[in-house]
């Protein structure tokens, strides 16, 4: 555990080096949050009570999801594995005194913690100042949200880790990275709440792992989801993706590709 604690700290400090980039990202997220908020306000004025949200809930949803962009790395990336596969440095990673997946997860948790503070909280403060947002109702709701947020980070990591490992077979990850970004932004609830999807599409979207990254922790924040059932769903997908990642890590030990290093 001391090793993993140091790796979390390393991931935090590594990304804390780029303060200007984090502030620029926070500004961008805040601006786009304001634009999204006005669109949602128009939609909810036309359809009051849509998806079980009122206008304040919809605005809060907007800025909470904006706050998730960086820590969840919703647009993909965040892991250095593809570059290390191309350079051949992945061979060194596989002989470290800790599993590659656990090592990378610990660093990613540190990254997510810093970006939540530097790029996640500012958009929420802007939303609260400009429009007003809802806060969780009490300690229990805060605890449910924070637990759901932590599980969402693990689910996000599990998915991105699989995308990163695919470079061992695909050589170039640009195509699969773009596909991943499209799937994540559409099916996670980043664009609009999944509850407003029509019929069967809503049911399918809410059953996929991407919903565990954005829609479900946001519903926990708003108090719109059953706590234990939601956390169990997130934990299920976290376990599935980490399990697939472990199998993928085992498979790349037997995959020999001369590429770079």
Instruction: Give the structural domain span for 171.
Output: 3-254
For residue 261, being part of any structural domain is answered with no
Provide the number of structural domains found in the chain: 1
User: Residue 256 above 60 pLDDT?
Assistant: no
- pLDDT at 223 (0 to 100): 92
Asked whether the beta carbons of 180 and 165 are under 8 A apart, the reply is: no
Q: By C-alpha distance, which of 30, 29, 117 is closest to 74?
A: 29
d(CA 136, CA 138): 6
For 145-204, the pLDDT digits (tens) are: 999 999 999 999 999 999 999 888 887 778 888 999 999 999 999 989 999 998 899 999
For residue 131, being part of any structural domain is answered with yes
For residue 259, being part of any structural domain is answered with no
For residue 68, being part of any structural domain is answered with yes
For residue 260, being part of any structural domain is answered with no
For 53-109, the pLDDT digits (tens) are: 999 999 999 999 999 999 999 988 778 888 888 787 888 888 887 889 999 999 999
For 20-44, the pLDDT digits (tens) are: 988 999 999 999 999 999 999 999 9
pTM: 0.92
Asked whether the beta carbons of 233 and 209 are under 8 A apart, the reply is: no
- pLDDT at 94 (0 to 100): 83
For residue 22, being part of any structural domain is answered with yes
For 96-129, the pLDDT digits (tens) are: 878 899 999 999 999 999 999 999 999 999 999 9
For residue 171, being part of any structural domain is answered with yes
User: Residue 261 above 80 pLDDT?
Assistant: no
Cα 65 to Cα 12, 94, 217: the distances in Å are: 21, 35, 9
């Amino acid at each position: 555990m001391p090793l993993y604690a140091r790796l979390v700290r390393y991931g935090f400090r590594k990304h804390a080096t780029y303060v200007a980039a984090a502030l620029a990202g926070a500004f961008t997220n805040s601006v786009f949050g304001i634009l999204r908020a006005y669109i949602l306000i128009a939609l909810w004025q036309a359809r009051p009570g849509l998806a079980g949200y009122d206008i304040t809930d919809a605005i809060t949803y907007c800025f909470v999801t904006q706050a998730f962009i960086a820590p969840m790395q919703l647009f993909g990336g965040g892991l250095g594995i593809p570059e290390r596969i191309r350079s051949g440095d992945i061979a060194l990673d596989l002989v470290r005194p800790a599993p590659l997946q656990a090592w990378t997860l610990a660093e990613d948790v540190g990254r997510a913690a810093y970006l939540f503070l530097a790029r996640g909280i500012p958009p929420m403060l802007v939303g609260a100042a400009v429009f007003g947002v809802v806060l969780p109702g009490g300690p229990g709701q805060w605890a449910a949200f924070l637990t759901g947020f932590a599980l969402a980070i693990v689910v996000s990591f599990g998915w991105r880790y699989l995308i990163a490992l695919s470079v061992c077979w695909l050589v170039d990850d640009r195509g699969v990275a773009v596909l991943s970004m499209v799937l994540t932004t559409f099916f996670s609830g980043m664009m609009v709440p999944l509850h407003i999807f029509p019929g069967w599409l809503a049911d399918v979207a809410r059953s996929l792992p991407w919903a565990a990254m954005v829609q479900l922790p946001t519903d926990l924040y708003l108090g719109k989801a059953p706590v234990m059932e939601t956390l169990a769903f997130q934990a299920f997908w976290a376990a599935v993706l980490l399990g697939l990642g472990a199998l993928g890590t085992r498979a790349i030990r037997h995959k020999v590709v001369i590429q770079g290093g």
